[in-house]
Amino acid sequence: MSFNNEIKTGNPYSFLIEPAEDNVQRPPVNEPPKRKKRVSLGIIALCLCFAIIGGLIGGAVTSMQYGLNEQIGQQETPPVPTAANAALSKGSGSERKELTAAQVYEKGVVSCVSIRSTVTKDLFGRPITSNVSGSGFIISEAGHIITNYHVIDGAGDNKISVTLYDGRTYDAKVVGYDADNDLAVLRINESNLIPVTLGSSNELVVGAPIYAIGDPLGTLNFSMTAGIVSGLYRLISTDSANDVNTFQIDAAVNSGNSGGPVFNSYGEVVGIVTAKYAETGVEGLGFAIPIDDIRYMINDIIDVGYVRSKPYIGITVTTATIEEHSVAGAYVYSVERGSAAEQAGLKEGDIIVEMGGRRISSLQDLLSARSSYMAGDTVELRVYRNKSYINITLTFGAKPQV
């Protein structure tokens, strides 16, 4: 199922999730929301202590820090924008217009949400219940919201609440999720919402400006930070997912930012904040999931409640080095019978060095490149076999449901 096609969910409505002509009348956001109370340094310090304690419990000095926050401060609801304003991301016709940082915020913040959930997890054989704060964004007028899976992991039947920019708060239901890609779709009982405009993460280059809007520390909701794309194709592991393909950003992200949108300079969402690299003395290392990697996943989750189109090759691989195999790449240890790999003609001992024109120098490169495809897609592989190179056409299968 293509992400750009109309989605039919079996409910008496249908909607498009695509970067269509953005002619929605949006209210201006001329000033940041006001608060009756300032956030105290004590609360912030306490939140940071919880993040540090969580890292110690996990037994990792270097870890991925997520949107967990034990203490959620009380705040005044931000003012509801009143005046109408034309969408800013399009010029005449289909021409795109780059925006200032203030315009990106004005355009995007009305589609952002704060998320609170109560989760229960096992810690040394004992159930531990805690409050979690995170961020998200509206993907459809019908109330669908995107966030990270780890923001709601362990919520079960506990309450998940979503607060819109205008201060309205709703109970949310989990439509579905994909833990492998740290993705979850929620839904609130509201319609006529303002969804984000989606861009293309495939257009990102190192040095491109980006903006993140979210709820750092669970107390500073609807905050925006700015930066650049620092790197592409970063494979990371999180508490709930292994080997997630991301791009690296230097915009400040902290506990509570997880699940929030990353915008490009046109005010389009190109990624989802998923992790911050946390280590003493390290700053400016945040990671976001490319939106093009998960478009079809969102479609699948809304349509059937899970991702049915994850690409599957059917091989066991490891990293091949020049010292051991004469070339660097992804070494094929075994091929499953009847798999897409067998049908394509891959064999044990093959070394994959390119996928779709992208250089493959390791297992991590292969996993990252695979995330750009979905089941049914066809790609050209360049393979080193018997001291020579050959080209193989592979059509991805669907990952079996566990």
Q: Which sequence positions are flagged as catalytic?
A: 150, 182, 258
Residue 236: closest CA among 305, 181, 313: 181
Give all strands (DSSP E) within 148-207, no chain letters. Answer: 160-164, 169-178, 183-188
Query: Looking at this protein, which amino acid is placed at residue 158?
Result: N
Contact 78, 109 (CB under 8 A): no
Q: Around 224, how many Cα atoms within 13 Å sit in the side-chain half-sphere?
A: 23
Neighbour-count burial for 364-375, b at 16+ CB within 10 Å, e otherwise: bbbbbbbbbbbb
Give the dihedral of Cα atoms 167, 185, 182, 211; nearest 10 deg. Answer: -40
Residue 212: closest CA among 223, 221, 199: 223
Containing 273, the helix (H) or strand (E) segment is: strand 269-278
Contact 313, 397 (CB under 8 A): yes
Query: Looking at this protein, which amino acid is placed at residue 48?
Result: L
Contact 328, 320 (CB under 8 A): yes
Residues 6+ apart with CB under 8 A from 167: 77, 78, 80
Q: Which two tokens stand for residue 243?
A: 């080997």
Q: What angle do CA 212, 213, 214 make, to 5 degrees?
A: 120
CA pair distance 53, 194, nearest whole angstrom = 38
Residues 6+ apart with CB under 8 A from 397: 311, 312, 313, 314, 339, 340, 375
